[in-house]
Structure 1
Amino acid sequence: MIQRIQSLFLLLAAIAGGFMGNFNLWKAKLTKGNVASEDYFNATSSYLIFIVLMVSTILALVTIFLYKKRKLQFRLTVLNIFLAIAVLLLIYFKVQDKANLLQSEGAVIVQATFLLPAFLPVVMVVCLFLAARGIYKDEKLIKSLDRLR
């Protein structure tokens, strides 16, 4: 189980998802009148992002232990890739909504930046893709060995 490289990639994807849930993803410096302030956005700011992120993280952890059912493991990993892409898109759109909301409240956004943890879904997608590729190679190897018998 752990000897397989795809198990390590799945574990890395789960760790990236877990870290993303704990850190701020976006920071904006605001001015409202003469008062300067900062506003942050994290995964817990939106229930939808948090739920999809946790489903993706838990699915990556569960998929590690499905090493005897490679077809199911492959399908769940591909599904998880789509979930990680969905998290990335949701973050982008929710941050845009938050920025529009702040501006509609009369705040002027002086500077807004995505922080480093906002790119962890990209790390998740890459790790999940590499895991899916390893699972596919294992399945192909097993099929070729079955043909030799």
Structure 2
Amino acid sequence: MIQRIQSLFLLLAAIAGGAMGSFDLWKATLTRGATTAVETFNATSSYLIFTVLMVSTILSLVTIFLYKKRKLQFRLTVLNILLAIGILALIYFKVQDTANALQSSGAIIVRANYLLPAFLPVVMVVCLFLAARGIYKDEKLIKSLDRLR
């Protein structure tokens, strides 16, 4: 059934992925001589991050409609958890590369910080974990009902 709670968690994970694609993830204020500039990093700044993010978001949406195939839905949700953790790691490493490239170009970074949308992959992981737990409980319930017949 599509009105299960895990469908809501999968939808929330897809919304978090879509939102992360449209906001800045990292912001740095830097100086070059007498000029001050602001450098930002978002998911579209890196082709790899954007691709993995869109695959994860689409996978969350597709998984919602696999409610009749619970084993496949569970496996795809676990795969999606791994993708979300990978997105988090990719963001961290790409931001570090960007900061190192800015410093090696002669810029002095005055202030740099992660913005709130950078933590949306954590929200995705939590929502996907809760969805996987719900799918597993449904599968366990169906198996126990089959034993009673």
- TM-score normalised by the chain length of structure 1: 0.99
Which aligned segments of 4 or more residues in structure 1 are displaced greater than 3 angstroms? Answer: none
In structure 1, give the amino acid aligned to 2:119: F
Q: Deviations over 1:4-32 (max 9, x none)?
A: 00000000000000000000000000000
Q: CA deviation at 1:65?
A: 0.2
Gaps of 5+ in 2: none
1:91 alignment partner in structure 2: 91
Q: In structure 2, how many angstroms separate the alpha carbons of the residues matched to 1:3 and 1:89?
A: 32
Q: In structure 2, how many angstroms separate the alpha carbons of the residues matched to 1:139 and 1:2?
A: 15
2:70 alignment partner in structure 1: 70
Q: Deviations over 1:41-99 (max 9, x none)?
A: 00000000000000000000000000000000000000000000000000000000000
Tell me whether 1:119 sits opposite 2:119 in the alignment: yes
Gaps of 5+ in 1: none
Q: In structure 1, how many angstroms separate the alpha carbons of the residues matched to 2:36 and 2:106?
A: 13
Q: Aligned ranges for residues 1-149 of structure 1 at < 5 Å?
A: 1-149=1-149
Q: Is the 8 A contact 2:2 2:65 kept in 1?
A: no
In structure 1, give the amino acid aligned to 2:117: P
Q: In structure 1, how many angstroms separate the alpha carbons of the residues matched to 2:105 and 2:3?
A: 54
Q: CA deviation at 1:3?
A: 1.9
Q: In structure 2, how many angstroms separate the alpha carbons of the residues matched to 1:32 and 1:60?
A: 43
SS at match of 1:2: coil
- TM-score normalised by the chain length of structure 2: 0.99
SS at match of 2:87: helix
Q: In structure 1, how many angstroms separate the alpha carbons of the residues matched to 2:145 and 2:96?
A: 52
Alpha-carbon RMSD across the aligned residues, in angstroms, is 0.4
Q: CA deviation at 1:2?
A: 3.3
